[in-house]
Amino acid sequence: MARPRLKNRDLPPRMYRKNGAYYYVTKANKWIRLSADLGEAKRRWVELEAPCRMPSQGMAAVFNRYAVEVLPTKAAKTRMDQERQMKLLEAAFGDFRPDEIKPVHVAQYLDYRAGKGAAVAGNREKALLSHVFTMAMRWGIVESNPCRGVTRNKELPRDRYVDDDELDRFISFARELRHGMLTEREDGVRKATNKDYGNTLRTGKVVASALEIAYLAAQRRQDVLRLSLDAISDDGLLVRQLKTRNSRPVTVLIGWAPKLMAAVAEAKKLPRPSGSRYLFVSSRTGKPYTDSGFNALVQKIMRAREAAGNRRFHFHDLRAKGATDLLEQVWCGEVNCTGG
């Protein structure tokens, strides 16, 4: 068995990084240039390595083939999430041969993640590992999937309800956000920065407006972030829902209510590059916010509020709140306003 490599441990077998590019090194020590781009280098690595040596190269090779052939076919957010998950799986199973992994190892991984307070994340990683093995069976590398039959960690459904006062206070906090109100880390401890600029931050206003519209329209964050100015009509707000039951995008019309109309009007006041037709635009890229970029802004503001003794909530808690409040309004307005 080959000795463990000391460098380039993040790369598949026989691939090395040198002078800004990636190379494949043959048994005869011949260096074959693959590409300066890691994704393209991995694709070419599969062409060289996968057909003859994949089963003997270990799980690291299987993970890399999956990353090259399967991940690019998935939606951008799914791909980003699973790239992060795969790094954890590679750390745990990368040195195994595919046929060495047994159900007990998968169960031990779930227990380990639960012990780290990441039981739900462990379930998602196990689901990804299961699909990796499903593809490995299709590629003829293994004959069975060790994830099958292994029970998942118990998941408790979220029942967090963000009350009106809590939401209003967070939106006000975000809209009045200044540099001095954010936090920085020092030796693992958060403390207020010494910056104290007079002007409020544009990013705080973006987060406040996006959260308010997501709540009032009861829509997903990704769909709200991609709203265009053309989606604002006399009849209401046209929202293109990318994630639906049948996986096909659909466009829904959210009728105007006074608060929703006011929230959209506030969002339209946000500065945006000339010619941009999106409601929420990153000042850095001039394009709509990515889900990860926007989430980083939200988490920064959440940390600042948490440091002040406030409880956190998640963006999808607002969608649940919006749906719950809507049902209550329908019940009160159309069925039984007195509650009797």
> Sign of torsion, CA 160 163 330 247?
negative
Residue burial 201-217, b: 16+ Cβ < 10 Å; e: rest: bebbbbbbbbbbbbbbb
For range 250-279, the mean pLDDT: 90
Determine the pLDDT at residue 28. Answer: 76
Phi-psi region of 286 (alpha: psi -120 to 50; beta: other; left: phi over 0): left
pLDDT band at 84 (very low <50, low <70, confident <90, very high): very high
For range 70-75, the mean pLDDT: 85
For range 169-194, the mean pLDDT: 66
Determine the pLDDT at residue 58. Answer: 80
Determine the pLDDT at residue 198. Answer: 57
Q: How many angstroms separate the CA atoms of 42 and 205, rounded?
A: 41
> What is the percentage of the chain residues whose pLDDT exceeds 70?
79
pLDDT digits (tens, 9 = 90+) for 197-221: 557 788 889 999 998 898 888 888 8
Residue 330 predicted with pLDDT over 50? no
Determine the pLDDT at residue 150. Answer: 96
For range 316-336, the mean pLDDT: 48
Q: Is the pTM of this model over 0.75?
A: no
Determine the pLDDT at residue 21. Answer: 92
Residue 328 predicted with pLDDT over 50? no
Residue 159 predicted with pLDDT over 90? no
Residue type, 184: E
- Which residues, at least 6 apart from 273, have a Cβ–Cβ distance to it below 8 Å? 281, 286
The least confident of 121-130, 162-171, 217-226, 255-264 is 162-171
The least confident of 40-54, 152-166, 268-282 is 40-54
The least confident of 82-86, 88-92, 187-191 is 187-191
The least confident of 27-41, 43-57, 163-177, 178-192 is 178-192
Which domains are seen in the chain, by residue range?
Answer: 15-138 (no CATH), 164-335 (1.10.443.10)
Determine the pLDDT at residue 230. Answer: 92
Closest to 226 (Cα-Cα) out of 317, 318, 289, 271: 289
Determine the pLDDT at residue 289. Answer: 87
pLDDT band at 80 (very low <50, low <70, confident <90, very high): confident
